[in-house]
Amino acid sequence: MNYILYFVSPSKRLMLLLFILMMNMLHFSTGNMGSSPLAPALYIFGDSLFDNGNNNLLPTLAKANYSPYGMNFKKGATGRFTNGKTVADFIAEFLGLPYSPPYLQLLERVLQFDVLTGTNFASGSCGLLLETGNDLNLTQISTYLSNSPFLFSLGNNDYINNYLDSKHYNMKKHYSPRSFAKLLATNLSPQLQKLYNLGARRFIVFEIGPIGCIPSSIKQFDHEGRCVEEIDQLVLLFNKEFAPMLSNLTSTLENSTFILLVLGLRDSSSPCCISWMDQSSGCVPELGAFACKEPEKFYFWDGYHLTETYRTIATECFNGSSICIPKNIKELTLPA
């Protein structure tokens, strides 16, 4: 499991994070923004659904900085695990913000005093457990952060690359499906509370989608029907723990709002790019010429990740009422 800041000590990690947050606040308060965004910044935590280049600088095989990834993105292969923009990119656009830069590529921009409007801490193939500190004077930072959305996608790899991977992990021997779901929820809740203690108030959290329907699962596990229902039932146990947990946090953490994004996509079509392991893994490098010509008509780009179908998800969560509960992102940005 990759931890995006694993090579930095917890104390240095916190101080660097606080430095970035203070620089963000300074730039925003001095009026360097060219227009009026709906929020001062967007902070992103998660896995490959949101990763936009952090894994490029990590010693991991989970990378997407090569063709055909980015085939429909104007900057090409940047490390995004899709053909174009991620859902986090679309949400940033809807907020009127630039894309939140990858954390590991951010320090140079901070030192050059560029305008900073968020940070992306997402790392492909990881389950992110953020370590933070307490007892710091964070009054000014808290005021700034309270108006900035925090976007999370967590838990997918705890199933895909852990609980369901009996060859490399023994989690199933120690945890029943229900107790594992409780373990994940129990680990996530205090981390969200730590960010709240730093000043975060507006959270958008993805539930785990039906991973029994992704091409990787379809290829690897025996099943009847179009999806591996056994896997989707495992995830459902977590989501049943997840929603009440977020509701409880909203009621107990003063002035906080937690939006749950419900992913109901159950398409199990083959991936758009030519992928390793019989179309069940990442894209094979430099075979973009063999990828589907109209990726917007396909749900999956590789064995795990969506195409720019992300636009539909982001649009509905930003303006609609069907997948984001109890309010959409546009409503979240309104003054408290």
The predicted-structure confidence for 185-222, as pLDDT tens digits, reads as follows: 888 898 899 889 888 999 999 999 999 999 999 988 98
Q: In the chain, what percentage of residues exceed pLDDT 70?
A: 80
User: Is a pLDDT exceeding 80 seen at residue 306?
Assistant: yes
Residues recognised as catalytic? 48, 302, 305
* Each residue's pLDDT tens digit, 69-122: 999 999 999 999 999 999 999 999 999 999 998 988 776 555 554 556 888 888
The band of 58, judged by pLDDT with boundaries at 50, 70 and 90, is confident
Residue identified by tokens 């107990």 is 252
Radius of gyration of the chain (CA): 19
User: Is a pLDDT exceeding 50 seen at residue 321?
Assistant: yes
- For 160-175, b/e burial (b = at least 16 CB within 10 A) is bbbbbeeeeeeeeeee
User: Is a pLDDT exceeding 60 seen at residue 239?
Assistant: yes
Report how far residue 35's alpha carbon sits from residue 18's, in angstroms, rounded to the nearest whole number: 25
Nearest by Cα to 78 from 54, 104, 108, 43 = 54
For 85, 242, 243, the CA distances from 319, given in Å and listed in that order, are 19, 23, 21
User: Is a pLDDT exceeding 90 seen at residue 316?
Assistant: yes
- ω into 37 cis (within 30 of 0): no
CB under 8 Å to 266, separation ≥6 — which residues? 210, 213, 226, 227
Quote the DSSP letter at residue 275.
B
Report how far residue 139's alpha carbon sits from residue 91's, in angstroms, rounded to the nearest whole number: 27
CB under 8 Å to 145, separation ≥6 — which residues? 21, 41, 43, 198, 199, 200, 201
pLDDT of residue 17: 57
The band of 52, judged by pLDDT with boundaries at 50, 70 and 90, is very high
DSSP 73-105: STT--SSBSSSS--HHHHHHHHHT-PPPPBGGG
**Upper half-sphere CA count for residue 225 (Cβ side, 13 Å):** 10
Report how far residue 48's alpha carbon sits from residue 284's, in angstroms, rounded to the nearest whole number: 17
- ω into 101 cis (within 30 of 0): no
Which of 135-139, 152-156, 194-198, 312-316 holds the top average pLDDT?
Answer: 312-316
**142: helix, strand or coil:** helix
H or E segment and range at residue 229: helix 229-252
Considering only residues 266 and 312, tell me which one the structure prediction assigns the higher pLDDT: 312
- What pTM did the predictor assign? 0.84
pLDDT of residue 139: 53
